[in-house]
Amino acid sequence: MIYGFDRGVFFMFISALLSALNGAVAKILGDDLSALEIVFFRNLFGIAFIFLTLKHTPAKLPGGKPSLLIWRGIFGFCALLLFFYTITAIPLGVAITLNKTSPLFVAILAFFILHERVSLKAVFALVIGFFGVVMITKPTGFEAGISHLLGLIGGFLAAAAYTTIRKIKHIYDSRVIVLSFMTTGVIIPIILFIISEFYAPKNLDFLLSRFILPSHTQTWLLLLVIGVTATLSQWLLTKAYSGTNAAAAAAASYSVIPFSIFFGTLLGDRFPDLYTLMGIAFIVSSGLLVKKG
């Protein structure tokens, strides 16, 4: 933090903005592509972008813990796949609610694994933030099914990926950390695509789906948008968790909800009602409380 300015929280806000844009584009692409294919192309474009930046400015940190780097990639890939699947399988608001349980899991994992101090004020702030998410998305008539369970598991895996960043931030360049995630997100889908040619049961469609090459220019352009913005979002997210307290970054990540509402409105959603506006206020309040905690 410099002169009262928390760069980590700022990075998380920008990351959330780009993440919301990704969610909107993924929702559009979900009409033509499977979640696995969206993840594949998203990461494929991202790898190219990261390699260009590394060629321009090589990484200087030494590395030394490849196992943690691999686990970060696996956790991140699984979380992303489940998130994109829930976006296409259940209402967007419910999917985002389930995904935004990840900051709560981060605070818990940071306490038990990283031994970070989490004050009662921070815990209270995170609870307020999650309550704000619920008010915004208003999942009334919520009936838990396999898609909802997978969304919750995705939130936990995302938290595990974010927490892993804290373990390797001093030895790996943030771009290398993002590259590990995206490389995993290309290799595993290829393996799953091959398996899907021989075995693709309907009840495992979130994991096993056949590869279908996009045929429309608009689809390719949207995939390019997802690749570029996702890469920037992941890089900023990594910088955020590396540059500030995990609980503060977690609270700031809730801002993806109002950003998502903004993009949703542009796509034709109704303007937020009173409950939604109150939810946004709760989210902002939670971020301020954690920052002061």
Check residue 4 and give its pLDDT: 47
d(CA 83, CA 226): 14
Residue given tokens 């259940």 in the structure block: 90
Higher pLDDT, residue 118 or 187: 187
* pLDDT reading at 51 higher than 60: yes
Helix H or strand E encompassing 280: helix 274-292
Q: Within 10 A of 6 (CB to CB), how many other CB atoms are there?
A: 18
Phi then psi for 2, rounded to 5 degrees? -120, 120
pLDDT of res. 59: 81
| Coil, strand or helix at 5 | strand
Q: Domain ranges for the chain, please list them.
A: 7-292
Q: Is the pLDDT of residue 135 over 80?
A: no
Q: Residue with structure tokens 């506006």?
A: 277
pLDDT at 221: 92
Give the integer Cα–Cα distance in Å for 129 and 100: 9
Whether the per-residue pLDDT at 70 is higher than 50: the answer is yes
pLDDT range class, residue 192, cuts 50, 70, 90: very high
- Structure tokens given for 117: 């101090």
DSSP string of 104-136, one letter each residue: HHHHHHHHHTS-----HHHHHHHHHHHHHHHHH
pLDDT surpassing 50 at residue 34: yes
Let me know: does 165 contact 238? Beta carbons within 8 Å: yes
Q: Mention every residue, 6+ apart, whose C-beta is less than 8 A from residue 140.
A: none
Lowest mean pLDDT among 132-141, 160-169, 215-224: 132-141
Q: What is the pLDDT of residue 193?
A: 94
Q: How many CB atoms lie within 10 A of CB 14?
A: 16
Mean pLDDT of 248-269: 76
Residue 91: pLDDT band with limits 50, 70, 90: low
With a CB cutoff of 8 Å and minimum separation 6, the contacts of 26 are 38, 84, 87, 88, 226
In contact, 199 and 78? CB cutoff 8 Å: no
Confidence of residue 188 (pLDDT cuts 50, 70, 90): very high
In angstroms, what is the C-alpha Rg of the chain? 18
- The rounded distance, in Å, linking the Cα atoms of 13 and 256 is 8
Distance CA 98, CA 200 (A): 26
Strand partners, 5: 2
Q: Which residues contact 196 (CB under 8 A, 6 or more apart)?
A: 208, 209, 210, 211
| Structure letter (DSSP) for residue 63 | -
Helix, strand, or coil (residue 64): coil
